[in-house]
Amino acid sequence: MHIPDGYLSPQTYLPLFGVFIGAIAVAVKKVKKEVPARNIPYLGMAAAFSFIIMMFNLPVPGGSSGHAVGSALIAILFGPWAAMISVSVALVIQALIFGDGGITAIGANCFNMAVFMPLIAWFIFRLICGKSRAPRRIVVAAFFAGYLSLVLSAILTGVEFGIQPLIASGADGRALYCPYDLKIAIPAMAVEHLLLFGIVEGVITALIVQYFVRQHQIMIYAFRTTGTDE
Amino acid sequence: MHSEQQGLMNNLQKKIVVVLLILVVLTPAGLLLPMFFNTGAAWGEWSAETLKEVTGYVPAGLAKYTKTWKAPLKNYTFSHDDSSRMHQSGYYLVSGILGAMLAMSITLLLSKLIIRNGK
C-alpha cells in the first residue's frame, strides 16, 4: 500500500499533499486539546508499533505481498487524531530512509494509511460499539474496525492508482504513470486485503483491544468520559 | 493509574516495550516469508524494471519520477548485492530497530511539543 514515486501524477499527489497537511493541522489542534499528557509515551510506542508491524510482509502465494498498518488499533486506544500523527511519522521515516513509499507520494500514503484509515476505523468502532461496554461487543467492533479500515484504505489506494491512465497518457497513448486502470487496480488492491491482510489487521486490533479492555479500560480513548485528563 | 511515574516507565509501558522488542526481533519473518513463497513486491510497488517485464514499457512519467529520491537504506537493507539470506535478515532486523527507534523518538518529541504539560 506504499505508493512509490512515479505511480501518481502531480495532479494526484499534489492535492493529496494538501489534504494531508490540512488533516495534520486539525490533528495537532485536536491532540493539543483532547489527549492527556500521560499518553505522550504511548504515542511514541504507537509509532514504533506501526513501523514494525508494516515490516511483516505476508505473502499471498501466487500473488504479491502486503501487511497490516496498525492505524485502527492506535485510533481506538489513543484517538484517531493521535493515530494520524504517530502513523504519519512512521510513514515519513519509511519513505525518507528506507524508500518504502515515494517522496512525491508521502502525502498520498499518509492520507491513505494515517488519515483516512484511523478515521474510518474510529467511525466503524463507534458505530458497532454504540454505548455498549460489553467486552464481546467491543472486541467484535475492534475486529471490524481493523478489517474494514484496511480494506477501504486499500481500495482508496486502488482508486488513486486506477485513475492515473485517465489523467495522463503520452502522445502514443501509453500511460505516463501507473499503467493500470480502475478495473484492474481496485480488485487487485481489494481482494488481497479482503482475504488476508485485512483479517490480520482485524485480529491484531481485536486481541490488543481485548487486553486493554480487561486490564486498562480506563485508558481507552474511545471510552473516555471527558475531553481532557481525569 | 494514579501511581504512575514510579521510575522511568510504569508497568504497562514496560510491557509494551517488551512486546515491541519481541516483534522487532521477529521482523526478518516479514522478509523471509515472501521469499519462501516466491511472491513479488506488493501490488503497485514494482520497480521500473519489473514493470517493463510485465507491461513491455516503462511509463515516461514514472521513469522520470523514480529517480526523485535515493533512500539511504532502500528496501531495509545495507547491501543490495549481498545474496545471503542470513545477512539480509540481519540488515532487515537492524533497519527495523533503527526505524522503530526513530519513529518513537520523533513522535515523542512532536507530541511533547503539541501536548504541553500543565494545560
Cell of A9: 501524477
Is B25 in the A-facing interface, judged by CB distances under 8 Å? no
Per-residue model confidence (pLDDT) at position B114: 96
> For the segment B2-28, what is each residue's pLDDT rounded down to a tens digit?
544 557 789 999 999 999 999 999 999
What is this structure's pTM?
0.94
Which positions in chain A touch B61 (Cβ < 8 Å)? 6, 9, 168, 176-177
Is B92 in the A-facing interface, judged by CB distances under 8 Å? yes
Q: Distance (Å, rounded) from C-alpha B33 to C-alpha B39?
A: 9
Residue ranges and CATH numbers for the domains of chain A are: 10-223 (1.10.1760.20)
Instruction: Kindly determine whether residue A35 and residue B115, on different chains, have CB atoms separated by under 8 Å.
Output: yes
> For the segment B27-48, what is each residue's pLDDT rounded down to a tens digit?
999 999 999 988 878 999 998 9
Which positions in chain A touch B9 (Cβ < 8 Å)? 41
Q: Distance (Å, rounded) from C-alpha B94 to C-alpha B97?
A: 5
Nearest to B39 among A60, A161, A215 (CB): A60
Q: What is the mean pLDDT of each run of 10 residues along chain A (230 residues)?
A: 96 98 98 94 98 95 89 98 98 98 97 98 96 94 98 97 91 90 95 95 98 93 65
Nearest to A37 among B34, B110, B115 (CB): B115
For chain B, what is the HEC assignment? CCCCCCCCCCHHHHHHHHHHHHHHHHCHHHHHHHHHCCCCCCCCCCCHHHHHHHHCCCCHHHHHHCCCCCCCCHHHCCCCCCCCHHHHHHHHHHHHHHHHHHHHHHHHHHHHHHCCCCC
Is A187 in the B-facing interface, judged by CB distances under 8 Å? no
Q: What is the per-residue burial (b if ≥16 Cβ within 10 Å, else e) of B12-43?
A: bbeebeeebeebbeebbbbbbebeeeebebbb
